[in-house]
Amino acid sequence: MDTRAKNNVKVVGREDGPTIMLAHGFGCDQSMWRRVTERLVSDHQVVLFDHVGAGASDPAAWDAERYSTLDAYAQDVLDIVAELDLHDVVFVGHSVAAMIGVLAVAEDPSRFAELVLLTPSPRYLDDESDGYKGGFTRADIDELVESLESNYLGWSAAMAPNIVGNPDRPELGGELTDAFCRTDPARALAFARATFLSDNRSDLARVTVPTLVIECARDSLAPRHVGAYVHEQIAGSELVTLDAGGHCPQLSHPEPTTDAIVAFVDRLR
């Protein structure tokens, strides 16, 4: 299957500029990056894509068993950079795509120059065995999955405003709701299971490229202690805290988000 069609790959911006690959999170598609993309294209080559099962990815590529774990999404990232013959890529992953990036870079660091993790969480579930606080109990996750399964559209309308935060800007919650509603419910449920039941804490130590962790000061899905944990587990990483609320700063606070990415990329060039 053609990789470009499979993942609806788009390449925009300056061909001779640093290559930045933007990966969207659960329930979204590449359009969620548009406010960041428009700030990058003058000086950077930007690679956008949709995860299989989302956006305008090829429906024929979807396989529920294959995409039951994040490893398949990480392999898709590697397939894209290989198909486009990209090198020195700056991979920017939002939310669950941050861990997809961790897996891809750990598997083949040779094609990546830097890694940017935007509001990451390596495990959403609390772990009583070692005291790790991901922010959710197993009962919380079971309830979330049950809600997704029984009434996906209702869940989307209720949860999107809480995820994006910024209640004084309801249009942002509406935009995320619309993105959720464009996703096939069955595929969204599979991606939700892969997202919220994954545990990638041990994979953080496998990252060997320069890494930037970007967190929001107020984020109910990935609170600051989780950002600090990711920073501590990736040797030599940097941590930037945006004075922002919500889990989607590329949507709600595109300027400081872009500034943090560009400052990190430019400083290491």
Active site residues: 95, 219, 247
Instruction: Give per-residue burial for 124-141: e unless 16+ CB within 10 Å, then b.
Output: bbbeeeeebebbbeeeeb
Residue 63 CA from chain centroid, whole number: 20
Please measure the distance between the N-terminal and C-terminal CA atoms of the chain and give it in whole angstroms: 35
Cβ atoms 10, 49 nearer than 8 A: yes
Task: Identify the CA nearest to 176 among candidates 162, 191, 197.
Answer: 162
Region of 14 please: left (phi>0), alpha (psi -120 to 50) or beta.
beta
What one-letter code names the amino acid at 8?
Answer: N
Cβ atoms 1, 63 nearer than 8 A: no
